[in-house]
Structure 1
Amino acid sequence: MEALISTFVFFFAVIDPIGTVPVFLAVTRGYDARDKRQTALIAVLVSAGVLLFFVVAGEFILKAIDIPLPAFQTAGGLVLFLFAMTMIFGEGKPEGEVRIAKKTSETAIFPLAVPSIASPGAMLAAVLLTENSRYSILEQVLTSLTMLVVLFITLLLMLAASPVHRLIGDSGASIISRVMGLILASVATASVMAGIKAYFGL
């Protein structure tokens, strides 16, 4: 149970469902209720497909290009750490991706599904948390289900985007995004340390 909670928090941090709300509102500005629901559903389904692809094929791709998992774990941890730093010190997810949404055609694929929901951090997490050498098939299935639960929460928040945004505002979403960034930085540091330890057999 503790491992599942840890996995849930990890995915909640990298997917950042609350930070997706302002992005969704910007993307769907002017849409009627039906189109908003359809956009939210398509975005989550596309995100789920992308992340499940990394769960299934990510490790095989690494092996095909002869990259050891500890090296990927270390590199992934560093990337996650940099991603976390942008969440903490840079523009938060709401500000940065809302700006992107305003500059592109309104679509569920970009920037909503990728990179807002299925972010680079989420893709890395999908690979790191389902390594065949560290996790059994059952554990990988549970991790995938946990990831899908977070995506379902993201869908629910998008469907209730307007009242949620009125409640927390852009500032509230930014604060939550930065707190998630701090949690993610801690997880990323642990990933780097574990990767170095495994690589050198310490």
Structure 2
Amino acid sequence: MIDLIAIFVLFFAVIDPIGTVPVFIAVTRHQNPAEKRRTALKATLVASVILVFFVLAGEQILESLDIPLSAFQVSGGIILFLFALTMIFGESKPEEEVKLSGDAQDKSIFPLAVPSIASPGAMLAAVMQTENTLYSLPEQAQITGVMLLVLASALILMLASTYVHRIIGDSGASIISRIMGIILASMAVTSVLEGIVAYFGL
């Protein structure tokens, strides 16, 4: 039986809806309320399409390249771990991605949809959490539903960004992002260990 709570925490860590709020505020600061709603909806829709694509086709792409999923688990876990380290020790997600917004034309796509919502970590998680040999189609549908629930929470937080930011501020978002980084690091190590076990059949 799949642990939907653990999967929710994983996707919440890699998507980081709270850390998206300062990014959203920065890229929509010159927009009126209607434009902000359209930007939030478009960014969430684009991110959802990208992540669902990785759920549906990610493993098939790996198989076509003759890459075992266990190897992807190890490499993906290492990348997630490095990604987590940047969340913990480097610039936090809001600080880093606000800087990316400077030259972008359609800011709902970049940096909001990618890499703020559909981050590289989220793409890796979408593939690793829906492995065909481990999860049945109904289970994969449940996992995808959990992922979409996290994306919906990101949309809600963006729509309520003014109130959320007033409560937590940039510092609060930065702190939460670093806490998510710690959680993500432990999950990344688990993924590496599981990949090693699967590859060597231990």
Bucket of the pairwise TM-score, normalised by the shorter protein: over 0.9
- Structure 2 residue ranges without an equivalent (≥5): none
Query: What are the within-5 Å matches in structure 2 for residues 146-157 of structure 1?
Result: 146-157=146-157
Cα offset, 1:103, TM superposition: 3.6
Distance across 2 between alignment mates of 1:201 and 1:2: 21
Which secondary structure state, in structure 2, belongs to the residue aligned with residue 31 of structure 1?
A: coil
Cα offset, 1:106, TM superposition: 4.9
Q: How many residues are paired up?
A: 202
Distance across 1 between alignment mates of 2:12 and 2:141: 17
Match of 2:186 in 1: 186
Query: What are the within-5 Å matches in structure 2 for residues 102-181 of structure 1?
Result: 102-181=102-181
CA contact (8 A) 1:16 1:180 kept: yes
Cα offset, 1:2, TM superposition: 6.9
CA contact (8 A) 1:7 1:146 kept: yes
The one-letter code matched in structure 1 to 2:100 is: I
Distance across 2 between alignment mates of 1:106 and 1:93: 19
The share of aligned pairs that are identical, in percent, is: 64
Cα offset, 1:29, TM superposition: 1.1
CA contact (8 A) 2:2 2:139 kept: no
CA contact (8 A) 2:14 2:121 kept: yes
Cα offset, 1:104, TM superposition: 2.6
Match of 2:25 in 1: 25
The one-letter code matched in structure 1 to 2:83 is: F
1:93 aligns with 2:81: no
Distance across 2 between alignment mates of 1:160 and 1:134: 37
1:82 aligns with 2:70: no
Cα offset, 1:12, TM superposition: 0.2
The one-letter code matched in structure 1 to 2:98 is: V
- Structure 1 residue ranges without an equivalent (≥5): none
Q: Which runs of 4+ in 1 moved over 4 A?
A: none
| Deviation per residue, 1:126-164 (Å, 9 max, x gap) | 000000011111110000000000000000000000111
- Aligned-residue CA RMSD in angstroms? 1.0
CA contact (8 A) 1:26 1:102 kept: no
CA contact (8 A) 1:28 1:106 kept: no
CA contact (8 A) 2:101 2:111 kept: yes
Distance across 2 between alignment mates of 1:119 and 1:112: 10
The one-letter code matched in structure 2 to 1:162 is: T
Distance across 2 between alignment mates of 1:192 and 1:45: 31
